[in-house]
């Protein structure tokens, strides 16, 4: 069968039998066009070979295409081959190709010196500055998620024992320690700001001017503002504090299981990404020293 006719049959199969959207077909077609642009001599299904998929993948990667793009094109083309085999137009074996893994996105992480500058950025002569310093200190020293920080209630914080009881994803409870610095600033915020507020009876610990918990958007903007004041060029978010907390613990020899428990990760594989960040930091520091 001519390739043009085979592609047309595959088109009908994708839309009718598999019920995929026209947009999905457009993606399939673009990938198949790339494949047949490379194998321009293949005019008939009898010209297709078992080695074509592997060769096409190597070619895509040699062009500098991203791993994601190369894998998508391989998947589309392999689906075409599987369809042809099912219909009897391809009799060869379709190999299970060991594909390169998509690169993991390593989270942004501040250095310990950058963290110090960020924590010192709020203006302690203003009530909001005292509150923000307490929030930043708490988040960095405990690794809380931003939602956990913003919804933190007074009853969850034991300032005498330096422990926070957190109700994370799936309402799972965990207890995490907080640094003495964080405790000091929470006490300062409570005594100098919160206890003087008309909303001092609120269950929530950190309040805005209206007596409500801060919004994610507002806190995100404040972290960005403080990063700019601290001269931090990297684009960061509140979550960067959580990433930095985990990475710095590992840099100082903390056990992975301990960090997993503090972060509230169900799967340790989620925590393991910070070991890569830690290794990258170590390599970067080594390179700077050896230059």
18 assigned to active site: no
3-state secondary structure of 153: strand
What percentage of residues in the chain have a pLDDT greater than 70?
Answer: 87
CB 146 within 8 A of CB 139: yes
Residue 158 has pLDDT above 80, yes or no: yes
Q: Can you give the pLDDT at residue 284? A: 52
Q: Is the pTM of this model over 0.75?
A: no
145 assigned to active site: yes
In the numeric block, the tokens 């689906």 are attached to 79
Residues of the chain with CATH 1.10.443.10: 112-290
Class of domain 112-290: mainly alpha
Where residue 170 falls (left for φ over 0; alpha for ψ -120 to 50; beta otherwise) is: left
Q: Can you give the pLDDT at residue 290? A: 36
265 assigned to active site: yes
**Among residues 72, 145, 154, 224, which one is catalytic?**
145
Weakest-pLDDT range from 61-70, 172-181, 270-279: 270-279
78 assigned to active site: no
169 assigned to active site: yes
**Among residues 242, 281, 283, 286, which one is catalytic?**
242
Q: CA torsion, points 282, 283, 286, 291, in degrees to nearest 10? A: -150
When pLDDT is cut at 50, 70 and 90, the band that residue 275 belongs to is: low
**Among residues 72, 216, 239, 281, which one is catalytic?**
239
Residues of the chain with CATH 1.10.150.130: 3-87
242 assigned to active site: yes
Per-residue pLDDT tens over the stretch 3-15: 999 999 999 888 8
Q: Fold for domain 3-87?
A: DNA polymerase; domain 1 (1.10.150)
Give the tokens for residue 207. 């309040």
**Among residues 86, 169, 200, 276, which one is catalytic?**
169
Residue 28: name the closest of 41, 38, 39, 15 by CA: 15
């Amino acid at each position: 069968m001519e390739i043009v006719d085979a592609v047309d049959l595959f088109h009908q199969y994708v839309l009718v039998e598999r019920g995929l959207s026209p947009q999905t077909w457009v993606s399939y077609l673009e990938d198949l066009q790339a494949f047949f642009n490379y194998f321009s001599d293949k005019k008939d299904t009898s010209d297709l070979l078992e080695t074509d998929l592997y060769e096409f993948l190597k070619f895509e990667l040699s062009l500098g295409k991203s791993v994601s793009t190369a894998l998508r094109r391989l998947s589309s083309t392999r689906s075409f081959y599987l369809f042809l085999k099912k219909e009897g137009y391809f009799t060869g074996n379709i190999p299970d190709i060991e594909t390169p893994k998509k690169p993991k996105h390593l989270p942004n992480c501040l250095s310990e010196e950058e963290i110090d500058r960020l924590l010192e950025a709020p203006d302690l002569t203003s009530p909001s500055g005292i509150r923000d310093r307490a929030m930043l200190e708490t988040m960095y020293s405990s690794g809380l998620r931003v939602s956990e920080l913003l919804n933190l209630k007074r009853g969850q914080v034991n300032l005498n024992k330096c422990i926070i009881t957190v109700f994370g994803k799936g309402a799972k409870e965990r207890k995490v320690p907080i640094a003495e610095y964080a405790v000091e600033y929470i006490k300062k915020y409570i005594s100098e700001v919160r206890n003087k507020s008309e909303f001092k009876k609120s269950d929530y610990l950190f309040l805005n001017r209206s007596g409500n918990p801060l919004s994610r958007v507002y806190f995100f903007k404040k972290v960005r503002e403080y990063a700019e004041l601290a001269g931090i060029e990297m684009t960061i978010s509140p979550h960067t504090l959580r990433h930095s907390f985990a990475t710095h613990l590992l840099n100082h020899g903390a056990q992975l299981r301990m960090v997993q428990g503090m972060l509230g990760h169900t799967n340790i594989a989620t925590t393991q990404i910070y070991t890569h960040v830690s290794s990258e930091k170590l390599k970067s520091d080594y390179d700077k020293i050896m230059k």
